[in-house]
Structures are given as C-alpha cells and as structure tokens.
Amino acid sequence: MRVLVLGRTGYLGRHVVAHLRGLPDTQLPEAGRSTAGAGAGLRVDLATDSPDRLAKTLAEAAPDAVINCAGATAGDAVTLAEVNTRGPAVLCTALRQAAPRARLVHLGSAAEYGPGEQGTKVTETAATRPLGPYGATKLAGTAVVTASGLDAVVLRVGNPVGPGAPPTGLPGRVAALLRETGAAEPEAGTGAVLRLGDLSAYRDFVDARDVARAAVLAALAAGPLPPVLNIGGGEAVRVRDLVHLLARRAGFGGRIEEAAGATGATDGSARSAAVSWQCSDITAAGEALDWRPSYPLEESLAALWADAGAEGGRTP
C-alpha cells in the first residue's frame, strides 16, 4: 500500500511516518515543500500550489491513501488561512482529479469546537464555535474535506504532547524554559523562577504517538469511516497540573509563578487562551478504529523531557 504523508517533517507528521515505517508492505513516497533529500523529488506546498500542479504530483505519487498533517498553528490570519483552509481545498480538488479512490485522512483540531462546558466531553456532533483565526481556519478546512465527496475522514486532535513537542505549544515551550533554567542541574537550587501565564484552564492532552497510530489506522481501515472523529486523551487535565508534573520530571527545584498578562510571562496557548475547558469524547474513534490512547500523561511528559534533553531538543 502506498501512503503519502503531507507535512511529514512537522511534529505530528514525523510520528506518522515513523509509525508507517514499522508496517510491512507499506511504501512511503516522499514529498514536501523542498525536494532536497526526497528520493522521489516530489514537491508539494499546499499553501501555494495550484490544483492542477498538485494533481500532477499526486498522479506521480499514485497513493492509496493520503494523510494530511500539514497545518499552521501560529501566524497571522492570512498565513493560517493559506495553510489550514486553502491547503485542504487544493488537496481535495487535486485528489478528485488524480486519485479519486484514495482514502484521505486530514488532521483537524479540537480548537474547532471552541469553549466547552465545564465537566462535559464534547462529541463530534456538537456545535462548533471557534473563538479565533486558528480554530476558524481549521474548521473551514474540515468543512472542505467533509464536503469533498472523497473517501475522507477528519481527525479532530486534542492538545498533542510527547517526544518532539515544539515550543509553539505549551508542553514544548515549558520544556524549553526548564532547559534554559538548567532545571536538571543541582546548582539550579530553589532560587530559579519559572514565570508563566494563567494555568487554570483544562485541556485534553494526547500523546503524538497515539495521534500517529490513529491516523494510520484511519488510512488503512476497510470501508467508509465517519466524517469526523475525535482523537484525544478523553480526560480534562488542568494545565497547572501538567506544568508541575513536567517540572518534577525535570528535577526543577525552583518556583513556578502564574501571572496572566504579566510581562515576559507565557502560557503557550495564545490561540485558545479564552477557552477554559476542553475535553473530547473519544467513544466514536474506539468504535470506528478500535483506537484508544495508550500513553499515560506521565509517560508522555517523561518522553518529552528525555527528548528535550537529547541534542538540545528539536525544532518543529
């Protein structure tokens, strides 16, 4: 089976590729914004390619399935729209021309739902009320995919955590700050201070490796799938608890200070700062894909910290 992964060098894309490489009888044609090092020489840029150009590339790749991990989490509204909305639109148009029978797995975001109700897990049929450009552009991308007429499924992913987490998200940013303080060194002592923003919100964290496994299961599944599936940890975790768990894993002996809006403070979640509660109901993914998260949060944080310490961490 030939599986084309778009956004393969990004955080989630790298995990998807690693998971696929462990499967027998699976071919991975290489494609990306740069052809450097790509054996097949396939160039794909969903933000700028025309549908016809992309269709030619897809015809050359001849995929049985496409997993679209390409996406932007930061930038202005134009940048977000180019990648998160235009990208899926161009991809669907090109697939209809070049590979109309290919299964499309598109990574969406739980940010599409917007604010959740305290104590409630949101299902795929819930109203979508994104508060900012990120969630709005991801939701528009989901609408394009689900209305495309293709054999497609959108995985609405919660907050990814685990090895390789980039500093654009809270877990990766906190890990980077802990490294900067020399948290694991005894001389860091109790005088170090980690200044963060408000950490009172609840988020649904899911290991990036579990996201990758869900994406691969969706790509290989026989028969049609529901148009949208939630992929998350299935539990709401207070962000403060995650930060303290990671600090303990790092051996941080200093203080953690919270001050919303304080100069120099960061909470790592500007794109969803107004959302105080987020938790996904993952029942449908269990039924459709026989998928459930396998990594406890503590294990994900341990892997994140170990990875952050190796070679100075990785960039997204």
Q: What are phi and psi of 305, to 5 degrees?
A: -70, -40
Catalytic site includes residue 202: no
Catalytic residue among 11, 134, 202, 295: 134
What residues contact residue 78 under an 8 Å CB cut-off, 6+ apart?
none
Say how many Å lie between the first and final Cα of the chain, rounded. Answer: 28
| CA pair distance 199, 211, nearest whole angstrom | 24
CB of 234 closer than 8 Å to CB of 285: no
| CA pair distance 131, 221, nearest whole angstrom | 33
Closest Cα to residue 105, out of 208, 11, 16? Answer: 16
| CA pair distance 87, 174, nearest whole angstrom | 30
Q: What are phi and psi of 142, to 5 degrees?
A: -60, -45
| CA pair distance 180, 240, nearest whole angstrom | 20
Which letter does DSSP use for residue 266 in this model? Answer: B
Active site residues: 134
